[in-house]
A and B are shown apart, each in its own frame.
Chain A
Amino acid sequence: MIKTIQNKSIKSLGKRFVRVWADTSKRSSSLNVAEDIKSSLFNEITPENGNGAASIPDYESKLRYHSPIGIHEAFEESYKILSEDANVKYQQLEKETDPKKIENLQIEAEQYNPEVLYNAEFNHDSLNKTQPIYRQLLQKKWQDKDLMILMQRLETMHVIPDTLPTLNPTADVKIKFNHNTDPRFIGWIEPGTKLPAFAVSQPPTIQINDFENKNQDELYTVLLVNPDVPDLHANTYQTNLHYGLVNISLNNINDTIKPQWLLNNEDCIIQDYLPLTPFKNLPYQRACLWVFKQNGRSEVTKKSIKSRSFDIGKFVTQNNLNPIGAHLWRQEFDRSVNSIREMYGLPKGEVFLKFRHDEPINTEFLRIELPYKFNNENRHKYEKQASEIEAVAEKEHNESESN
Chain B
Amino acid sequence: MLSLRNILEPSRNVFNTFIQVRGAKKRAVGSRTNNKDSAGRRLGPKKHEGNFVKPGEIIMRQRGTKIHPGDNVKIGKDHTIYAVEPGYVRFYYDPFHPLRKYVGVALTNDIMLPKPHFEPRLRRFGYVRVSKALEAKEIEDSMSRKEELAQPRINQMKEATIEMENEFKSKFRNYLSKETKMNEKEVTEASERLYKIYQLLKSNMSLSEAREQCTFETLFNMKLNYKKGEYANEQEYNLSKNNYIQFSELLDSKIAVDFEGNLYNSINVKSLDKLKTEIKSELENLYTNEILKTGYKSKVENLIKTPGVFNEDEQTKLSYKYLPKVIPYHINGSITKINDLKQVPKGSNLKQIYDEKSKSANHYIIKTLG
Most B-side CB within 10 Å, residue of A49, A161, A166: A161
Q: Give the nearest-CB partner of A385 in chain B.
A: B93
B188 at the interface (CB under 8 A from A): no
- B330:A49 contact, CB within 8 angstroms: yes
- Which of B93, B224, B324 touches A344 (beta carbons < 8 Å)? B224
Q: Collect the chain B residues with CB atoms within 8 Å of residue A359's CB.
A: 126
Please tell me which stretch of B6-14, B116-124, B168-176, B260-268 contacts chain A, meaning at least 4 of its Cβ atoms lie within 8 angstroms of it.
B116-124
B363 at the interface (CB under 8 A from A): no
Tell me, rounded to whole Å, the shortest Cβ–Cβ distance linking A215 to chain B.
28
B149 at the interface (CB under 8 A from A): no
Q: Give the nearest-CB partner of A261 in chain B.
A: B216
Q: Collect the chain B residues with CB atoms within 8 Å of residue A203's CB.
A: 220
How many angstroms between the C-alpha atoms of A93 and B139 in the bound complex?
71
Tell me, rounded to whole Å, the shortest Cβ–Cβ distance linking A172 to chain B.
21
- B108:A363 contact, CB within 8 angstroms: yes
How many angstroms between the C-alpha atoms of A158 and B119 in the bound complex?
11
Q: 8 Å CB contacts to B: which residues of A225-243? A: 227, 230-232, 235-237
The answer to whether residues A361 and B122 also contact, given A260-B213, A389-B92, A397-B44 and a CB cut-off of 8 A, is yes
- Which of A48, A186, A387 touches B204 (beta carbons < 8 Å)? A186
Q: Collect the chain A residues with CB atoms within 8 Å of residue B102's CB.
A: 389
- A351:B49 contact, CB within 8 angstroms: no
How many angstroms between the C-alpha atoms of A387 and B45 in the bound complex?
12
Tell me, rounded to whole Å, the shortest Cβ–Cβ distance linking B118 to chain A.
4
Tell me, rounded to whole Å, the shortest Cβ–Cβ distance linking B57 to chain A.
11
How many angstroms between the C-alpha atoms of A395 and B80 in the bound complex?
16
Tell me, rounded to whole Å, the shortest Cβ–Cβ distance linking A34 to chain B.
11
- Which of B38, B55, B116, B200 touches A371 (beta carbons < 8 Å)? B116
- B101:A392 contact, CB within 8 angstroms: yes
Q: 8 Å CB contacts to B: which residues of A51-76? A: 57-60, 63
Q: Collect the chain B residues with CB atoms within 8 Å of residue A166's CB.
A: 118
Tell me, rounded to whole Å, the shortest Cβ–Cβ distance linking A232 to chain B.
7
B227 at the interface (CB under 8 A from A): yes
- A352:B127 contact, CB within 8 angstroms: yes
How many angstroms between the C-alpha atoms of A267 and B244 in the bound complex?
23
Tell me, rounded to whole Å, the shortest Cβ–Cβ distance linking A323 to chain B.
13
A179 at the interface (CB under 8 A from B): yes
Q: Collect the chain A residues with CB atoms within 8 Å of residue B139's CB.
A: 280-281, 351, 353
- A351:B329 contact, CB within 8 angstroms: no
A98 at the interface (CB under 8 A from B): no
- A345:B37 contact, CB within 8 angstroms: no
Q: Collect the chain A residues with CB atoms within 8 Å of residue B217's CB.
A: 179, 202
- B219:A59 contact, CB within 8 angstroms: no
Q: 8 Å CB contacts to A: which residues of B327-348? A: 328-332
- Which of A2, A178, A386 touches B90 (beta carbons < 8 Å)? A386
Tell me, rounded to whole Å, the shortest Cβ–Cβ distance linking A199 to chain B.
13
- B128:A353 contact, CB within 8 angstroms: yes
Q: Collect the chain B residues with CB atoms within 8 Å of residue A100's CB.
A: none
Tell me, rounded to whole Å, the shortest Cβ–Cβ distance linking B92 to chain A.
6
Please tell me which stretch of A21-29, A102-110, A189-197, A372-380 contacts chain B, meaning at least 4 of its Cβ atoms lie within 8 angstroms of it.
A372-380
A94 at the interface (CB under 8 A from B): no
Please tell me which stretch of B21-29, B62-70, B178-186 contacts chain A, meaning at least 4 of its Cβ atoms lie within 8 angstroms of it.
B62-70
- Which of A353, A386, A402 touches B130 (beta carbons < 8 Å)? A353
B125 at the interface (CB under 8 A from A): yes
How many angstroms between the C-alpha atoms of A373 and B106 in the bound complex?
11
How many angstroms between the C-alpha atoms of A1 and B332 in the bound complex?
9
The answer to whether residues A58 and B320 also contact, given A3-B288, A401-B40 and a CB cut-off of 8 A, is yes
B140 at the interface (CB under 8 A from A): yes
- B326:A392 contact, CB within 8 angstroms: no
- A400:B92 contact, CB within 8 angstroms: no
Category for how many chain A residues contact B: 35 or more
- B213:A368 contact, CB within 8 angstroms: no
- Which of A2, A165, A236, A352 touches B129 (beta carbons < 8 Å)? A352
- Which of B42, B49, B54, B202 touches A400 (beta carbons < 8 Å)? B42
B43 at the interface (CB under 8 A from A): yes
How many angstroms between the C-alpha atoms of A400 and B55 in the bound complex?
26
- B49:A387 contact, CB within 8 angstroms: yes
Q: 8 Å CB contacts to A: which residues of B53-96? A: 54-55, 60, 62-63, 66-67, 86-87, 90-93
- Which of A178, A236, A356, A389 touches B122 (beta carbons < 8 Å)? A236
- Which of A60, A179, A357 touches B213 (beta carbons < 8 Å)? A179
Q: Collect the chain A residues with CB atoms within 8 Å of residue B125's CB.
A: 230-232, 235-237
- B130:A181 contact, CB within 8 angstroms: no
B315 at the interface (CB under 8 A from A): no
- Which of B48, B67, B316 touches A392 (beta carbons < 8 Å)? B67
The answer to whether residues A393 and B116 also contact, given A59-B324, A345-B227 and a CB cut-off of 8 A, is no
A382 at the interface (CB under 8 A from B): yes
B212 at the interface (CB under 8 A from A): yes
Tell me, rounded to whole Å, the shortest Cβ–Cβ distance linking B103 to chain A.
8
Most A-side CB within 10 Å, residue of B92, B140, B332: B140
Tell me, rounded to whole Å, the shortest Cβ–Cβ distance linking A64 to chain B.
11
- B111:A202 contact, CB within 8 angstroms: no
Q: Give the nearest-CB partner of B37 in chain A.
A: A403
A85 at the interface (CB under 8 A from B): no
Q: Collect the chain A residues with CB atoms within 8 Å of residue B220's CB.
A: 202-203, 259, 263
A183 at the interface (CB under 8 A from B): yes
Tell me, rounded to whole Å, the shortest Cβ–Cβ distance linking A280 to chain B.
5
Q: Collect the chain B residues with CB atoms within 8 Å of residue A393's CB.
A: 44-45, 60, 62, 66-67, 91, 103
| 0 or 1 for each of A173-212: is its CB under 8 Å from B? (1 = yes) | 0000011110100100000000000000011000000000
B228 at the interface (CB under 8 A from A): yes
Q: Collect the chain B residues with CB atoms within 8 Å of residue A383's CB.
A: 49
Tell me, rounded to whole Å, the shortest Cβ–Cβ distance linking A346 to chain B.
10
List 12 additional contacts besides A58-B320, A351-B130; criterion CB under 8 Å.
A59-B328, A162-B121, A235-B124, A280-B139, A358-B55, A361-B107, A361-B122, A372-B116, A373-B112, A382-B112, A390-B45, A403-B41
Q: List residues of chain B with CB under 8 Å of any chain A CB.
A: 37-38, 40-45, 48-49, 54-55, 60, 62-63, 66-67, 86-87, 90-93, 101-103, 107-108, 110-112, 115-130, 136-137, 139-140, 199-200, 202-205, 209, 212-213, 215-217, 219-221, 224, 227-228, 288, 316-317, 320-321, 324-326, 328-332, 356
Q: Considering the complex of A and B, which 9 residue pairs feature the smallest CB-CB distances, nearest first?
A: A397-B44, A165-B118, A356-B126, A400-B43, A59-B324, A345-B228, A351-B136, A389-B91, A57-B320
20 intermolecular pairs with C-beta atoms under 8 Å apart: A50-B331, A59-B320, A158-B121, A161-B120, A232-B129, A280-B140, A345-B224, A350-B136, A356-B128, A359-B126, A360-B87, A370-B122, A371-B116, A371-B119, A386-B92, A392-B66, A393-B60, A397-B42, A398-B44, A400-B40
Q: List residues of chain A with CB under 8 Å of any chain B CB.
A: 1-3, 48-50, 57-60, 63, 158, 161-163, 165-166, 178-181, 183, 186, 202-203, 227, 230-232, 235-237, 259-260, 263, 280-282, 343-345, 349-353, 356-361, 363, 368, 370-374, 378, 382-383, 385-387, 389-390, 392-394, 396-403
